[in-house]
Structure 1
Amino acid sequence: MNTSRLLLSVAVLAALGGCSTVNLTAKQFLPRDSGKVTQLKKTAPAYQVENIEFTHPGGAISRGIHVRKPDAQFTVLYFMGSGVRVDAHGGVFAKPFTEMNANVISFDYHDFGRSEAPDSPFGLADLERETLALYDHVRATTKGKLVVHGHSFGSFVAARLAAKRELDALVLEGTGTNAQAYAENQIPWYAKAFVRMKLDQELAAIDNRAALRAFQGPLLVINGVNDVQTPVGTSRELFDGLANPHKRFEAVKEAGHMNAMTKPQTLGVYLAFLGGAYN
């Protein structure tokens, strides 16, 4: 259980008025960066990890990494989940792409991780503008096939991008229909009868079905069968509601929310999907 879900569970238990004990071990409590990007030097020695940055008109600086080698077959622009950052998790999310002979580019979100920004109001509309600027920059500086891949929260970012740009291919991993369903899935099953999620107007407007309604490019939706944060049923609901002749759905066996891309099943489907999309 990650920290946010642990705190939510504690809060729910308190709200229910129960006198409960939550047992923690040192391994659970102490922070670990088990997926540090520096590990790629050992796990993908043929690749170079280049630090990159992009300065937005308002002064915000998006910083990230470009994991690459000269003979890579395609490039992935990867949008991470909420709370995921390059330095702590880059070694994990980039590794599967190196196994597929692909380059990967990813930026930390606004004023998070390596990225910096002026102290000023920032909302989802601003995030969308930054996303468009980053995509345009990467597209202009990248040769060959560019795949946009969004995981979890990043799948909503990627879907909104697909509504504004013609993409070579789009991959949504651990995704769902809208922000309301996404938020409700974070509530533990035992508390769903007692807890109600109320989203503000800005969040409530986020809907992947609306964002992807007109998208007709190659689309791959990936979801772990054992994913409890974004259950496979919600991603399947999104997939089934899209009138896209170039879509494919893959339910990954023995995978949860964070590890679907580590499975050989997923890598095989990913390459087959891209092979079919570009032939």
Structure 2
Amino acid sequence: MRQLLTCLLLIALAGCSTVDVTSRQFIPKDAGKLSMLKKTAPDYQVDNIEFKHPDGAISRGIFVHKPDAQFTVLYFMGSGVRIDVNGAFIAKPFVDMNANFISYDYHDFGRSDAPESAFGLPELNAEALALYDHVRATTTGKLVVHGHSFGSFVAAALAKQRHLDALVLEGTGTSAQAYADNMVPWYGKPFVRIKLDQELLSIDNRVALRTYQDPVLIISGVNDVQTPLATSRELFDSLSNQHKRFEAVKEAGHMNAMTKPETRRTYQAFMGGVYE
């Protein structure tokens, strides 16, 4: 989605400026191979896992675990993020907190496979719910549902349908419309208008979490321009929940809030029942 919006912005501004683009910008960069995780967390076991859905789709991911972990995190990644490129970077903060970590690549993306069929947000949410039910049935102890960026909308939709031990939304916001609008920089807003279809317009975390009363932690990087602090705070303020906590992370952007020690301290305090 971000690449599409960037292209639209470039087209809109084509008459006003010249933007130099090189082939290097299109070459994927490995943010952290999974093999590196064993070097930084040798006490953990990294298992390849999979779950087969009724329609034949297969969700594949990883389970990073050790016997004395304090809790387990089911992590829903951002759009375009996949296990083999980003898994070690994403999992390491949870390993540092002595937590197990489970994450799957999205439908027909990365490691996951699927038959040719119509697939939209309702089907995506159904797959996420099936994965949660499977993980909940096969793990013991506290299970945290953690959604980052696009994954925060997936996690919130799941929380609407299940009681959770805890919900964490990182790099999140109020709605898909706000999310899309924030991806256009201020200087492009006079030239670019983002129009979403009805399915996307229906995505709103405030609606999904309106009746949610289980523990929820919202994490926002102060320097996040993709999902700005103000939109995360707006979502937090809309929640009528006695078990909510907000963490504004200094010197953090959209992708690195969990790498900060203060974020992990807040996370562990939240898991211990501290909401302020």
Residue 63 of structure 1 is matched in structure 2 by 60
The answer to whether the 8 A contact 1:72-1:102 is kept is: yes
Q: Report the CA distance between 1:241 and its aligned residue.
A: 0.6
Residue 160 of structure 1 is matched in structure 2 by 157
Q: Which runs of 5+ in 1 are unaligned?
A: none
Q: Report the CA distance between 1:161 and its aligned residue.
A: 0.3
Alpha-carbon distance in 2 for matches of 1:10, 1:76: 35
Structure 2 residue aligned with 1:169, among 166, 189, 192?
166
Per-residue CA shift, 1:138-184, capped at 9, x if unaligned?
00000000000000000000000000000000000000001100111
Alpha-carbon distance in 1 for matches of 2:174, 2:25: 32
Structure 1 residue aligned with 2:134, among 116, 133, 137?
137
Alpha-carbon distance in 1 for matches of 2:274, 2:137: 21
Alpha-carbon distance in 2 for matches of 1:137, 1:6: 33
Q: CA RMSD in A?
A: 1.6
Residue 258 of structure 2 is matched in structure 1 by 261
What fraction of aligned residue pairs are identical, expressed as a percent?
A: 73
The answer to whether the 8 A contact 1:218-1:277 is kept is: no
Alpha-carbon distance in 2 for matches of 1:202, 1:114: 26
The alignment covers a number of residue pairs equal to 275
Alpha-carbon distance in 2 for matches of 1:112, 1:10: 22
Residue 46 of structure 1 is matched in structure 2 by 43
Q: Report the CA distance between 1:24 and its aligned residue.
A: 4.7
The answer to whether the 8 A contact 2:8-2:192 is kept is: no
TM-score of the pair, normalised by structure 1? 0.94
Correspondence 1:196 to 2:188:
no
Change (3 A) 1:29 1:203: closer
TM-score of the pair, normalised by structure 2? 0.95
Equivalent position amino acid for 1:225 in 2: V
Alpha-carbon distance in 1 for matches of 2:195, 2:153: 18
Structure 2 residue aligned with 1:83, among 75, 80, 94?
80
Alpha-carbon distance in 1 for matches of 2:23, 2:126: 41
Residue 180 of structure 2 is matched in structure 1 by 183
Structure 1 residue aligned with 2:15, among 14, 18, 39?
18
Q: Report the CA distance between 1:275 and its aligned residue.
A: 0.8
The answer to whether the 8 A contact 1:183-1:197 is kept is: yes
Q: Report the CA distance between 1:44 and its aligned residue.
A: 1.2
Q: Which runs of 5+ in 2 are unaligned?
A: none
Alpha-carbon distance in 2 for matches of 1:137, 1:48: 20
Per-residue CA shift, 1:73-127, capped at 9, x if unaligned?
1000000000000000001100000000000000000000000000010011111
Correspondence 1:112 to 2:102:
no
Q: Secondary structure at the match of 1:276?
A: coil
Alpha-carbon distance in 1 for matches of 2:209, 2:4: 33
Q: Report the CA distance between 1:62 and its aligned residue.
A: 0.3
The answer to whether the 8 A contact 1:9-1:188 is kept is: no
Per-residue CA shift, 1:170-207, capped at 9, x if unaligned?
00000000110011111121101221111111110011
Deviates more, 1:181-190 or 1:165-174: 181-190
Alpha-carbon distance in 1 for matches of 2:5, 2:240: 36
Q: Secondary structure at the match of 1:130?
A: helix
Equivalent position amino acid for 1:154 in 2: G
